Amino acid sequence: MGFMRKLRVSAERNNSLLCIGLDPDHDRLPAGVTMAQFNRAIIDATSDVVCAYKPNLAFYEVDGADGLRALEQTLAAIPEDIPVIGDAKRGDIGNTARQYAKALFESFNFDAATVNPYLGLDSVEPFIAYPDKCTFLLCRTSNPGAKDFQDLMIRGQPLYEHVAFKALEWNIHGNIGLVAGATYPQDLARIRQLCPAMPLLVPGVGTQGGDVRAVVRLSADASGMNAIINISRAVLYASAGADFAEAARNAALRLRDEINKHRPVG
């Protein structure tokens, strides 16, 4: 099943736009719990509450080959019917991008991946060539440094809007999405206006400070769908103790319901 349909089915079944970022940080794991064990407990406690999971590869690569093994074990623990986004933010020349796309979509079998647009079309093409996978291009990211380049004005419009226009132009297979940070609500609104039907991956709620109400209203499409609200630390580390999985479930339930309060009715 392609990503778009898989996402719709899981979002409807779990009545959820919440995506949990599986970013296990060694400094914050409960004592004696491995990355793979931590993730499995989080997944078991939340898989009926989310629309998707999003492991960020940085947190695995830090352990080298062992870390990628933990990632493989994590992916095996995710129920088949929940879509998984590989947050890798890769970007390289065509010949190399083909290897990255193969790594993410075949070796790890992610349903979607994030891609950095700075290298242009031939760096993106190998990803969108997989029609059943979704490629989320970084558009307006959630971090303070986003302004350094993404806000630079080009013919009256910021760079990130040019990325959105290119995403529309390149979307011949209908499998492109955009990353739009929750911390810049006006920019998020502008991106949704430019791309009314694209799935938006929205990080930045929770620890990063994005406001849930504004974010949901501005990122969901007219039917209240197609927004993937990612939260990592506020769920994963809801408790630092042995009850971390139960605390994560409670945090996820609360966030899912808070998000649903503000969804447009489809």
Binding string, residues 199-218; x marks residues near a second copy by CB under 8 A: ----x----x----------
Provide, rounded to whole angstroms, the least separation between the CB of residue 5 and a second copy. Answer: 26
Enumerate residues 6-65 that contact a second copy by CB under 8 A.
Answer: 23, 25, 56, 58-59, 61-65
Residues in the interface with a second copy (CB under 8 A) total 60
Assess 102 for contact with a second copy (CB under 8 A). yes
Contacting a second copy (CB under 8 A), which of 34, 107, 193, 223? 107
Q: Does 111 bind a second copy (CB under 8 A)?
A: no
Token couple for 25:
């940080």
Does 80 contact a second copy by CB under 8 A?
no
* Smallest separation (angstroms) from a second copy to the CB of 14: 26
Contact between 138 and a second copy per CB under 8 A: yes
Q: What is the sign of the dihedral through the CA atoms of 245, 250, 255 and 261?
A: positive
Distance in Å, CB of 99 to a second copy, minimum: 4
Residue 116 binding a second copy, by CB under 8 A: yes
Question: In sequence order, which residues have a C-beta less than 8 Å from that of residue 211 and are 6 or more positions away?
Answer: 182, 185, 205
Residue closer to a second copy (CB basis): 208 or 260: 208
Among 150, 175, 219, 230, which residue interacts with a second copy (rule: CB under 8 A)? 150
Among the listed residues 6, 89, 166, 261, the single catalytic one is 89
d(CA 33, CA 5): 35
Identify whether 89 is a catalytic site residue.
yes
What's the per-residue H, E or C state across the chain? CCHHHHHHHHHHHCCCCEEEEECCCHHHCCCCCCHHHHHHHHHHHHCCCCCEEEEECHHHHCCHHHHHHHHHHHHHHCCCCCCEEEEEEECCCHHHHHHHHHHHHHHCCCCEEEECHHHCHHHHHHHHCCCCCEEEEEEECCCCCHHHHHCCEECCEEHHHHHHHHHHHHCCCCCEEEEECCCCHHHHHHHHHHCCCCCEEECCECCCCECHHHHHHHHCCCCCCCEEEEECHHHHCCCCCCCHHHHHHHHHHHHHHHHHHCCCCC
Binding residue for a second copy, selected from 2, 33, 37, 68, defined by CB under 8 A: 68
Is residue 122 within the footprint of a second copy (CB under 8 A)?
Answer: yes
CA atoms within 13 A on the CB side of 147: 3
Q: Of 139 and 225, which has the nearer Cβ to a second copy? A: 139
Q: Does residue 221 belong to the site contacting a second copy (CB under 8 A)?
A: no
In DSSP terms, 20 is beta-bridged to 53, 231
Q: Is 66 in the site for a second copy (CB under 8 A)?
A: yes
Q: Which one, 72 or 258, has the nearer CB to a second copy?
A: 72
Catalytic positions are 89
Where does this chain bind a second copy (CB under 8 A)?
23, 25, 56, 58-59, 61-69, 71-72, 89-94, 96-97, 99-100, 102-103, 106-108, 116-124, 138, 141-150, 152-154, 159, 162-163, 166, 203, 208
